[in-house]
Copies of this chain bind each other. A is one copy, B any other.
Amino acid sequence: MKRNPNMTLLQDGYLFPEITRRKNAFLSNNPEANIISLGIGDTTRALPTCIAEALADSANALADSSKYTGYGPEQGIGALRNKIAEVIYKHSVDANEVFVADGAKCDLGRLQMLFGSDVSIAVQDPTYPVYVEGSIIQGVSKIVRLPCNSDNHFFPDLDSAERTDLIYFCSPNNPTGAVASREQLQALVSFAKKNKSIILFDAAYASYIQDPDLPKSIYEIEGAKEVAIEIGSFSKLAGFTGVRLSWTIVPKALKFDDGTSVHADWNRLMTTLFNGASNIAQHGGLAVLEKNGWQAIQEMNAYYLENAAILHRALRELNIQVYGGHNAPYLWARFPGRKSWDIFQYLLEEFHIVATPGSGFGDNGEEFMRFSAFANRENILEATERLKLCCGAELL
């Protein structure tokens, strides 16, 4: 049979596998190198004991006939949907608008399937590659890139932006670390409402927002429930990158042009092509949202934010222009006139540090590197020591 033509349109190599390939190539020639990874945004802190115990208790319960459970609701265990609505959203969304899943990436793929191929999309540029690549796999041909750079404070110029059916928007942003203000999100919601667009709001890093004036959810903006789906995750909130647990909010107020319910279609798709997140992971999620768990993960989030602050200072001391890293776990460092894959290779070879080349996130990412704060403190400190060995000039 013939190959899916959409697959032929993908560029070679998804960004992170390419980084791994280059890292491994370097390691095979330099097996003794102690590489510090500030590349992929992968959590490194052990889980709080109370959360790991909840996971383990749930696993052990499966050996008890009176407690064993098989398939749960595709939409997630009721208690967890309730708890997400209560703790994360302060009841501003309803529990049955919460759909629990095994990861934001998977839900993004399913959302792309929900809307189909005959749609136009807009993404911030630079952007998390999955929005674009998943859309290409789905057969979407019209992809509008909204430049986000230091000139516009990494928020797209909506006055000149073209209308699209879907708008992917990520805040705190991956990769730039920019956090949209209330006014910016109000403008985004108005723009979507005017254009009858749907916003896919990626809030995977919302827990890193400490400033009370910055919105953690698109639903803090009036009218957002009529235009926005929000994707949240336990990955960076609670170190569940390996455990796998996420959620998507599809408000009942969100309608297609013909007046039919997006919520109903999403429910139909999820009950057809998904079978629920792991029951063990869901019980872990419940423990995250209980008082003890919630307190413990605040400390974990603060730890990574302190990492970000340390990295920020170190890069600034080298006179490197840095964005992000406040209320966000990513730093976006600029190296004017340099190719970001060259900087990647330089950092790898000279300092044994892996960071993510900005151009992997889009044309507006050229000249930039993304540094992730999801590392252990000793590695962050060691990385800053290594960087101090250069005067910064080699990097600029």
A positions within 8 Å CB-CB of B = 1-7, 10, 14, 16-17, 40, 42-49, 51-53, 55-65, 67-72, 102-103, 105-106, 108-110, 113-119, 129-130, 133-134, 137-139, 165-166, 196-198, 239, 241-244, 256-258, 260, 265, 268-269, 271-281, 284, 374, 376
A89–B247 CA distance with the chains assembled, in angstroms: 35
Chain B: CB-nearest residue to A271: B14
A37–B247 CA distance with the chains assembled, in angstroms: 30
Across the interface, do B130 and A273 meet the contact criterion of CB distance under 8 Å? yes
Smallest beta-carbon distance A273→chain B, Å: 4
15 contacts between A and B (CB under 8 A): A10-B268, A46-B62, A52-B61, A58-B59, A59-B284, A62-B242, A70-B374, A103-B275, A108-B273, A113-B138, A134-B272, A137-B273, A243-B279, A244-B278, A278-B280
Q: Looking at the complex, which one of B49, B58, B68, B272 makes contact with A46 (CB distance below 8 Å)?
A: B68
Return chain B residues, CB-CB under 8 Å to A42: 70-71
Return chain B residues, CB-CB under 8 Å to A256: 1-3
Across the interface, do A47 and B72 meet the contact criterion of CB distance under 8 Å? no
Given contacts A60-B53, A71-B40, contact A272 B137 (CB under 8 A): yes
Return chain B residues, CB-CB under 8 Å to A271: 14, 16-17
Given contacts A70-B241, A278-B242, contact A113 B103 (CB under 8 A): no
Q: Kindly list 20 other residue pairs between chains A and B, CB separation below 8 angstroms, not including A16-B271, A59-B280, A134-B272.
A: A1-B115, A1-B196, A4-B118, A4-B265, A5-B116, A44-B68, A49-B63, A53-B60, A72-B242, A102-B244, A106-B273, A109-B110, A109-B274, A113-B113, A134-B273, A137-B269, A242-B280, A243-B280, A244-B275, A244-B276
Chain B: CB-nearest residue to A77: B242
Return chain B residues, CB-CB under 8 Å to A60: 52-53, 55-56
Given contacts A48-B63, A52-B62, A109-B113, contact A242 B7 (CB under 8 A): no
A72–B42 CA distance with the chains assembled, in angstroms: 10
Chain B: CB-nearest residue to A2: B257
Copy number in the complex reads: 2
Q: Looking at the complex, which one of B7, B197, B239 makes contact with A1 (CB distance below 8 Å)?
A: B197
Smallest beta-carbon distance A218→chain B, Å: 17
Across the interface, do B269 and A71 meet the contact criterion of CB distance under 8 Å? no
Return chain B residues, CB-CB under 8 Å to A64: 46
The 10 closest A-B pairs by CB, nearest first: A52-B63, A109-B273, A55-B59, A4-B116, A70-B241, A3-B256, A242-B279, A56-B56, A1-B165, A42-B70
Q: Looking at the complex, which one of B58, B130, B274 makes contact with A105 (CB distance below 8 Å)?
A: B274
Return chain B residues, CB-CB under 8 Å to A67: 46
Across the interface, do B55 and A280 meet the contact criterion of CB distance under 8 Å? yes
A106–B278 CA distance with the chains assembled, in angstroms: 13
Across the interface, do A105 and B275 meet the contact criterion of CB distance under 8 Å? yes
Chain B: CB-nearest residue to A269: B137
Chain B: CB-nearest residue to A273: B109
Chain B: CB-nearest residue to A268: B10
Chain B: CB-nearest residue to A136: B272
